[in-house]
Chain A
């Protein structure tokens, strides 16, 4: 029996009317819409790229949003010098593969040029100093919008932040003076010198990102999957054994099978013990995990109850 084209499309429509849309399609459509609003509303946008899974997801979404054209903005990386080598390699390969402009600025250079004082001692990190380099980079290239991969489920201050997050000329976020964000009408109007941070995957959860990476067949840096590594065991957390981490007398050096659940600076990102070597296995582990992503792996958020809120007020991502 043959079905005519018309009948076939009728049947298709019936199916699409009956079955609810998939949440990943809904989230993807929203993120693409936001990316296009950035391209439509701003003159000099940029995509902040770290080599982590969230910004990898952003690049993939941007590719889809503007296909068959190129992504109409550069990728910008603020390199602390404390990044995982695997993430840096991935960054360079991806930029080349999609023929994107990659701008890298180094925290090391900012420290030297401006005589910034680095944190010292146990758990010293350049995390906060990134803000200086980021703001300088925004000024240098006159970026009016910076797309970032932050998600609202990550952290309680982020749960309050707008998708188009207005920053004043000092890059500061003021949680009490956020613009009302109604429907999907994003207001990106700013004065010269001000900028907007845009978070297209605000409404995605950690699990959504993993499910999407799997569905779309997106490759990730190898550190996201189980491997043997030499680590520093400190206060119950496993940190990469690297010279950029100041040693502490209490440290123990151990070798474990681990993967990284988030990829930030080596100084403030902990590994989790795991045998999950594939996307499916990682997703299975996260699904049953009883500890949140940042709680398990981030040292920077645990210093005070409002650590992220304070960093954002100071111009952080």
Chain B
């Protein structure tokens, strides 16, 4: 059994939390005491109808306002898969939270209200999903009961969504008519929409192949830590601890260390102190090399015949996340890419992207909270990266404010 991480995007009124509540409820993942707590809380807030949305809103201010402010994680499972549901707020003022949630998602559920169809925020959420390279997108056309479960209404929305999707890079798209409130096409097939013959939401969640989404070709291993026991028996032991970001590494593979460009061969791969023959994507292992070369945290080990780009000049899409200060050309930050950190300076804002209309805005002087733009930056040390759309793990970076130490930008290197 494997693990799927998905994000749900939608606004306050689209019924996003209700949808998650419904998924948990219909897959029997809500426990008796949690249900009682929701029933108690529902009674004090509204007419007494059970509000499944209360399951996901964890902070006091969220419950008070009835909205999701921060990213929340929920865990559930079916006999076929384990799920981590990432619930992010949908309003434009929380774009950074959605970007945060989307960065780790394998799949996105984008909610559309059947009464309103594709609206501004649908466009925004779809752009974020596409920009963050989420391979699978489900558009859940919700509240079908409020449009008489009409097939025509659904087909209209599906058509206009597909037009929108053509402007983006969404690899795998499924559109499903649902009612989260009544549970139609969430876990069980709808009896009110017999015209729909496609999969239910849960069926898609259970069956998408996420293994194929991983980059299996480019061998990349960012060194996190050097293990040197320095005991009598292990006097000369030097193991490079890290996680395979993409590709595969095997004993005997010729490798190169970046940015130093030194070459060697893999003498041994270990996991938990035991030798293993190969390490594949996302495995945390320890690599030992045949030659004694200088390697430390921040270096990247790559397969010798397949190099990433090594450069100090980087172009990236950035989502700006600081609510106090703006990003301007000339500003300096710390760029964290893999395990490497380097000071960097912003050279240029090439253009900003209006995340609702997708228009490019030129001559932008500064980026405010939640703005998305293409920027040019120069790092103090060379960075070994791949373009984000080709390799999510080795194309992502964050910007850190040097004085407050807060994470202020999400970068997708182009």
Q: How far is the CB of A45 from chain B (nearest CB, A)?
A: 12
Which residue of chain B has its CB nearest to the CB of A186? B336
Q: How far is the CB of B106 from chain A (nearest CB, A)?
A: 11
A291 touches B2 (CB 8 A): no
Most buried by A among B73, B234, B392: B73
Sampled A-B contacts (10; CB under 8 Å): A13-B278, A20-B2, A22-B1, A23-B82, A69-B228, A156-B59, A176-B61, A183-B396, A205-B77, A295-B31
B25 cross-chain contacts in A, Cβ below 8 A: none
A21 touches B2 (CB 8 A): yes
A189 cross-chain contacts in B, Cβ below 8 A: 334, 400, 405
CB interface residues, B 349-372, toward A, < 8 Å: none
Q: How far is the CB of A310 from chain B (nearest CB, A)?
A: 8
Give the distance in Å from the alpha carbon of A309 to the alpha carbon of B84 in the complex: 22
Give the distance in Å from the alpha carbon of A46 to the alpha carbon of B410 in the complex: 29
A124 part of interface (Cβ distance < 8 Å): no
A311 part of interface (Cβ distance < 8 Å): no
Spot the interface stretch: B154-162, B269-277, B309-317: B269-277
Among B31, B58, B100, point to the contact of A182 (Cβ < 8 A).
B100
The answer to whether residues A23 and B3 also contact, given A160-B70, A182-B398, A191-B405 and a CB cut-off of 8 A, is yes
B406 cross-chain contacts in A, Cβ below 8 A: 179, 187
Spot the interface stretch: B112-120, B141-149, B236-244, B259-267: B236-244
A175 touches B75 (CB 8 A): no
A306 part of interface (Cβ distance < 8 Å): yes
B103 cross-chain contacts in A, Cβ below 8 A: 182-183
| A-B pairs with lowest CB-CB distance, top 6 | A67-B273, A156-B58, A295-B33, A20-B2, A64-B272, A32-B284
CB interface residues, B 271-298, toward A, < 8 Å: 271-273, 277-278, 280, 282-284, 286, 297
B2 cross-chain contacts in A, Cβ below 8 A: 20-23, 26
Give the distance in Å from the alpha carbon of A61 to the alpha carbon of B271 in the complex: 11
A37 cross-chain contacts in B, Cβ below 8 A: 224, 339
B407 part of interface (Cβ distance < 8 Å): yes
The answer to whether residues A39 and B225 also contact, given A23-B2, A29-B243, A179-B406 and a CB cut-off of 8 A, is yes
B321 part of interface (Cβ distance < 8 Å): yes
A40 touches B72 (CB 8 A): no
A175 touches B398 (CB 8 A): no
B32 part of interface (Cβ distance < 8 Å): yes
B3 touches A26 (CB 8 A): yes
Q: How far is the CB of B100 from chain A (nearest CB, A)?
A: 5
A20 cross-chain contacts in B, Cβ below 8 A: 1-2, 210-211
Among A39, A190, A309, point to the contact of B60 (Cβ < 8 A).
A309
B225 cross-chain contacts in A, Cβ below 8 A: 36, 39-40, 66
A191 cross-chain contacts in B, Cβ below 8 A: 405
B34 part of interface (Cβ distance < 8 Å): yes
B43 part of interface (Cβ distance < 8 Å): no
Interface range on chain B (Cβ under 8 Å from partner): 35 or more
B229 touches A69 (CB 8 A): yes
A179 cross-chain contacts in B, Cβ below 8 A: 406-407
A159 touches B282 (CB 8 A): no
Most buried by A among B99, B407, B410: B407
Give the distance in Å from the alpha carbon of A191 to the alpha carbon of B1 in the complex: 42
A3 part of interface (Cβ distance < 8 Å): no
The answer to whether residues A178 and B70 also contact, given A64-B272, A185-B397, A291-B32 and a CB cut-off of 8 A, is yes
B31 touches A26 (CB 8 A): no
| Mask: chain A, 128-143; 1 = CB below 8 Å from B; 0 = not | 0000000000000000
B71 touches A160 (CB 8 A): yes
CB interface residues, B 1-51, toward A, < 8 Å: 1-3, 31-34, 37, 41
CB interface residues, B 76-107, toward A, < 8 Å: 77, 82, 84, 96-97, 99-100, 103-104
B63 part of interface (Cβ distance < 8 Å): yes
B131 part of interface (Cβ distance < 8 Å): no
B339 touches A40 (CB 8 A): yes
A66 touches B241 (CB 8 A): yes
| Known pairs A180-B99, A183-B398 / 4 extra A-B pairs, C-beta < 8 Å | A28-B284, A40-B339, A67-B227, A182-B407
B34 touches A295 (CB 8 A): yes
B33 touches A67 (CB 8 A): no
Give the distance in Å from the alpha carbon of A12 to the alpha carbon of B334 in the complex: 42
B398 touches A309 (CB 8 A): no
Which residue of chain A has its CB nearest to the CB of B341? A189
| Mask: chain A, 145-171; 1 = CB below 8 Å from B; 0 = not | 000000011001101100000000000
The answer to whether residues A187 and B405 also contact, given A40-B339, A67-B273 and a CB cut-off of 8 A, is yes
A29 touches B282 (CB 8 A): yes
Among A27, A64, A176, A203, point to the contact of B73 (Cβ < 8 A).
A203
A47 part of interface (Cβ distance < 8 Å): no
A187 touches B32 (CB 8 A): no
Which residue of chain B has its CB nearest to the CB of A178? B70
A67 touches B270 (CB 8 A): yes
A21 touches B211 (CB 8 A): yes
Q: How far is the CB of B27 from chain A (nearest CB, A)?
A: 14
Q: How far is the CB of B343 from chain A (nearest CB, A)?
A: 12
